[in-house]
Amino acid sequence: MELDIVELSRFQFAMTALYHFLFVPLTLGLSILVAIMETVYVMTNRPIWRQMTKFWGSLFGINFVLGVATGITMEFQFGMNWSYYSHYVGDVFGAPLAMEGMMAFFLEATFVGLFFFGWDKLSKLQHMVVAWLVAIGSNFSALWILIANGWMVNPVGAEFNPQTMRMEMTSFFDVVFNEVAQAKFVHTVSAGYVTAAIFVLGVSSWYMLKGRHLELARRSIAVAASFGLAASLSVVVLGDESGYSASHTQKMKLAAIEAMWETHHAPAPFTLVGIPDQEARETHYAIEIPWAMGLIGTRSLTKEIPGINDLVAEAEQRVRRGITAYDALMEIREDPANASAEARFVFEQNSDDLGYALLLKRYVDDPREATEAQIEMAANDTVPGVFPLFWSFRAMVGLGFSFILLTGYFFWMSSFKGAQYPRWALRLAVLWIPAPWIAAELGWFVAEYGRQPWTVDGMLPTALSVSHLGVTDLLITIAGFVMFYTVLFIVEMSLMVKYIRKGPVQDVAETDEWMDRHQARLSGMTRAPFSPNPAE
C-alpha cells in the first residue's frame, strides 16, 4: 500500500515534469532568438526582420502559454504529493522557488503580454526592450529552478535541526553558488537554445523545400545555425562540466551511468556500449575506450573513480552510522531540554548519515530495530537502475553531437557557400526537429532517475517524501492529468502546425515601400533626407 503511493507519486511527478519540459526549452531559446531578431530590426529598420520577429514570436506565444500553464502544476505539486519532502526541506528548497517568482517569473509574465499587445503602444526601442525582458525573465527563471534542483543533488548550506525535525538553511550563498546548480543551469539553458535553434532551422528548411517565404527562411537559418552551433558546443562542454562535478558530488550516479561495477585503477576506461546486468553486477559485451572515463571524470590520470560495489559497501557503513545518529536524535527529541551532552555530541558526529538510516524506514518503522539483512537491502537500494541510465545517457550524448554536426553544417553553408542548401540537408533538418526534445527529456531522466533512491541526496529517501494520500486520490489525479494533458498537447500541436503552414503575415505594402526607398538611396536617384523611422 505504502509503496504504491510512492510509485504513483513518482509516476505523476515524472509525467507532469517531463510534460512541462516539452515547452520550457523552446521558451528559453526562442525568447532569445526573437529578441535577437527584433534587435536586428531596430538596428537595420528592415521590415523583413520585423516580420520574422512577429512570426517566430507568434509560435513562441503558442508554446509559452503551455509552459506557463503546466508550470503551475509544478509549483504546487510539491505540497500536494510530496508533503513530507516539503516539510523536511522547505526551509531551503522553498527559497529559490520564491526568488524565482519575484525575480524572474513576474518579469517574463508581466512583459509577455506587452510583447504581443504592445506593437502599437510602444516605440520600437521600448518594444525591443520588452522582448529582452521576457527573454531575461525566462532564463533567470531557469536559474532559480536549477538552483533548487541542484540542491537536491548536492545539498550544501543546510543542516538538520532536531527541534523542528527538518533541514534548515545555514548559508544562502552556498545554496545559490552550488557548483552543481551552476553547471546544470548553463547546460540546461544551452539545451534550450539548441532546441529553439533546431526548431527554427527545421521550420525554415521546410519553407525552403516548399519554396515559400524564402527571404524569411534564409535569414532565419543564418541566425539559427550560428546561435545553434554556439549553443550545441556549449551544451556538450557544459555537460562535461556536469560530469566533472558529478565525480565528487554524485559518485553513485556517475558510476551507474557508466555501469562501473568495480573501482578501476586510474585512469578508468570509458564503456562506449555494452549491456549492463544489475543482478550479476557486470556489463556484457562492453566496448571500452581506455583512459577516457578517468580524464572526463577527474581531469587527471591518477585519481580513481569509485565503482558501484565499493560505493555500496560505503553506503552500508553510512547506514550503520545513520542508525547511531537516529538513536541519539530520538533521545534528544524525547526531552529536548535535558538531553545528555553525549547524545548531542553523538548526533552531531553522525548527523550527516541520518538520511541513510531513513532508507530503512521502507522495511522497518524504527531503524534501530533493523536486522543485518535489512541494512544490506538498504545499502543495495542506493544503486539506481543502471541499464536505463547507461543507455539514456548515451542516447543523449549521441544526439548532442548530432546537433553540433547539423548546426555546424548549416553555419558553414550559410556563411561561406552563399546559403545554397542541398535538399537532403533541408530534409534532414526538418526530420531532426523532435531530436532536441528527446535529448532534453533523456537528460532529465538521467538527472532525476539517477538520483534515486533519494529526493535529496543522502538526506531524504524518496519513499519517505510523499504525502499520505490514498491510492484513489492519486489514480484520480493521474487519470485527470493524462486526459487533460493529452488534449492540450493535441490542441497545441494542431495550432503550431496551422501557424507554421500559414506562415508569416506579409506586410506587402510596408516591404515594397521600404524596398523603394532602399533602392532609391542606393542608386542615389533621389536624395531623400535620412529618416530614422522609414515606413512606419
Partner 1 sequence: MILNELVSYEVLRLLWWALLGVLLIGFALTDGFDMGVGALLPFVAKTDTERRQTINTIGPVWEGNQVWFILGGGAIFAAWPPLYAVSFSGFYLAMFLILAALILRPVAFKYRSKRPDPRWRSTWDWALFIGGFVPALLFGVAVGNVLLGVPFHLTPDLMPMYDGSALGKLFGLLRPFALLAGLVSVAMLLMHGAAWLSLKADGAVRDRARRIGTIAGMVAAVGYALAGLWLAVGIDGYAFTHAVAHDGPSNPLMNSVAREGSWLSAYVDRPWIVAAPLFGFVGIAMAVRGLRAGRDVSTLLWSKLGIFGIVSSVGLTMFPFILPSTVDPNSSLTVWDSSSSHMTLFVMLVGAAFFMPLILAYTAWVYKVLWGKVTQDDVTANGDTLY
20 or 187: CB nearest partner 1: 20
How buried is 363 (Cβ within 10 angstroms: 0-12 exposed, 13-18 middle, 19+ buried)? middle
Q: Kindly indicate which of the ranges 179-187, 194-202, 204-212, 491-499 contains the residues binding partner 1, using the contact rule CB under 8 A.
A: 491-499
Q: How far apart are CA 157 and CA 160, in angstroms?
A: 11
62 or 440: CB nearest partner 1: 62
159 φ, ψ (degrees, to nearest 5)? -145, 160
Q: Binding to partner 1 (CB under 8 A): which residues in 120-149? A: 120-122
The nearest distance, CB 64 to partner 1, in angstroms, is 8
The nearest distance, CB 460 to partner 1, in angstroms, is 12
- 502 C-beta neighbours (distance < 10 Å), count: 10
Instruction: Examine residue 499 and tell whether it contacts partner 1 (CB under 8 A).
Output: yes
76 or 416: CB nearest partner 1: 76
Take residue 439 and report the three cell numbers written for it.
535529448
Cis peptide preceding 453, ω within 30 of 0: yes
Give buried/exposed letters for 378-390 (b at 16+ CB in 10 A, else e): bbebbbbebebbb
C-alpha closest to that of 21 among 439, 400, 500, 454: 439
Instruction: Examine residue 484 and tell whether it contacts partner 1 (CB under 8 A).
Output: yes
The nearest distance, CB 330 to partner 1, in angstroms, is 10
Take residue 101 and report the three cell numbers written for it.
517568482
Q: Binding to partner 1 (CB under 8 A): which residues in 517-536? A: none
Give 445's contacts (C-beta < 8 A, 6+ positions apart). 18, 388, 392
Residue whose cell numbers read 503602444: 121
Q: Kindly indicate which of the ranges 165-173, 291-299, 422-430, 441-449 contains the residues binding partner 1, using the contact rule CB under 8 A.
A: 165-173
Give the distance between the most distant pair of CA atoms in the chain.
96
Q: How far apart are CA 493 and CA 505, in angstroms?
A: 20
The nearest distance, CB 156 to partner 1, in angstroms, is 14
Instruction: Examine residue 489 and tell whether it contacts partner 1 (CB under 8 A).
Output: no
The three-state secondary structure class of 418 is coil
Give 471's contacts (C-beta < 8 A, 6+ positions apart). 1, 4, 5, 8
The nearest distance, CB 80 to partner 1, in angstroms, is 5
The nearest distance, CB 195 to partner 1, in angstroms, is 20
Q: Kindly indicate which of the ranges 84-92, 371-379, 513-521, 528-536 contains the residues binding partner 1, using the contact rule CB under 8 A.
A: 84-92
C-alpha closest to that of 455 among 84, 19, 23: 84
Q: Kindly indicate which of the ranges 33-41, 167-175, 184-192, 296-304 contains the residues binding partner 1, using the contact rule CB under 8 A.
A: 167-175
428 or 495: CB nearest partner 1: 495
Q: How far apart are CA 20 and CA 145, in angstroms?
A: 13
Amino acid of residue 199: F
Dihedral of alpha carbons 139, 140, 143, 148, sign: negative
235 or 535: CB nearest partner 1: 535
Of 172, 177, 345, 401, the residue at the interface with partner 1 (CB under 8 A) is 172
The nearest distance, CB 90 to partner 1, in angstroms, is 3
Of 23, 55, 56, 78, the residue at the interface with partner 1 (CB under 8 A) is 78
The nearest distance, CB 500 to partner 1, in angstroms, is 13
The nearest distance, CB 439 to partner 1, in angstroms, is 26
Q: Binding to partner 1 (CB under 8 A): which residues in 238-257? A: none
Instruction: Examine residue 6 and tell whether it contacts partner 1 (CB under 8 A).
Output: no
Helix ranges restricted to H, 302-416 = 308-334, 341-350, 354-358, 372-381, 386-416
Q: Binding to partner 1 (CB under 8 A): which residues in 195-214? A: none
Instruction: Examine residue 399 and tell whether it contacts partner 1 (CB under 8 A).
Output: no
Q: Binding to partner 1 (CB under 8 A): which residues in 329-388? A: 333
Residues in contact with partner 1, shown as a per-residue x/- string from 11 to 50 under the rule CB under 8 A: ----------------------------------------
Q: Binding to partner 1 (CB under 8 A): which residues in 101-120? A: 101-103, 105-107, 109-114, 116-120
Amino acid of residue 145: I
Instruction: Examine residue 75 and tell whether it contacts partner 1 (CB under 8 A).
Output: yes
- 279 C-beta neighbours (distance < 10 Å), count: 5
The nearest distance, CB 357 to partner 1, in angstroms, is 13
The nearest distance, CB 109 to partner 1, in angstroms, is 4
Instruction: Examine residue 80 and tell whether it contacts partner 1 (CB under 8 A).
Output: yes
Of 17, 18, 65, 236, the residue at the interface with partner 1 (CB under 8 A) is 65
HEC string for 396-413: HHHHHHHHHHHHHHHHHH
C-alpha closest to that of 468 among 74, 16, 15, 1: 1
What one-character-per-residue DSSP string does 63-100 give?
A: HHHHHHHHHHHHHHHHHHH-HHHHHHHHHHHHHHHHHI
Take residue 160 and report the three cell numbers written for it.
538538520
Of 5, 22, 36, 95, the residue at the interface with partner 1 (CB under 8 A) is 95
Q: Kindly indicate which of the ranges 40-48, 179-187, 380-388, 470-478 contains the residues binding partner 1, using the contact rule CB under 8 A.
A: 470-478
How many residues contact partner 1, by CB under 8 A?
75
Instruction: Examine residue 81 and tell whether it contacts partner 1 (CB under 8 A).
Output: yes
166 or 251: CB nearest partner 1: 166
The nearest distance, CB 154 to partner 1, in angstroms, is 19
Of 302, 420, 472, 533, the residue at the interface with partner 1 (CB under 8 A) is 472
CA distances from 462 to 9, 43, 255, 356 (A): 10, 52, 20, 12
Of 164, 317, 371, 519, the residue at the interface with partner 1 (CB under 8 A) is 164
